């Protein structure tokens, strides 16, 4: 039996959506904005990607059975 991750399926879908939106927004903002505010989108995308990877790692971990 596999352990569940800390994200629900809905939260996981929203995390992927947020990652994709931030990842696509950063290069567009870099092209059209003169300052470096587009770096914030890169940081947000990296944080969301880290959360998704941590959830994946927890989901792949086998469930610990209680000791009787």
pLDDT digits (tens, 9 = 90+) for 22-50: 999 989 988 998 888 889 889 999 999 99
In a domain, 19, yes or no: yes
Q: Is 30 contained in some domain?
A: yes
Q: How far apart are alpha carbons 44 and 21 in whole angstroms? A: 10
Q: How many domains is the chain partitioned into structurally?
A: 1
DSSP structural state of residue 37: T
Q: What is the mean pLDDT of the chain?
A: 88
Cross-strand bridge partners of residue 62: 2
Q: What is the pTM of this model?
A: 0.79
Residue 41 included in any domain:
yes
pLDDT computed for residue 62 by the predictor: 81
Asked if residue 18 has pLDDT above 90, the reply is yes
The boundaries of the domain holding residue 47 are 9-60
Q: How high is the pLDDT of residue 66?
A: 75
The reply to whether 68 falls in a domain is: no
Q: Do the domain assignments include residue 65?
A: no
Residue 68: pLDDT over 90: no
Per the domain annotation, does 3 fall within a domain?
no
Residue 54 lies in a domain: yes
**What would the mean pLDDT of 53-64 be, rounded to a whole number?**
87
């Amino acid at each position: 039996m596999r352990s569940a991750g800390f994200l629900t399926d809905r939260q996981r879908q929203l995390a992927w959506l947020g990652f994709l939106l931030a990842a696509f927004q950063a290069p567009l903002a870099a092209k059209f904005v003169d300052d470096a505010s587009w770096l914030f989108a890169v940081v947000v995308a990296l944080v969301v990607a880290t959360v998704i990877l941590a959830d994946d790692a927890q989901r792949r971990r086998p469930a610990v059975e209680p000791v009787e």
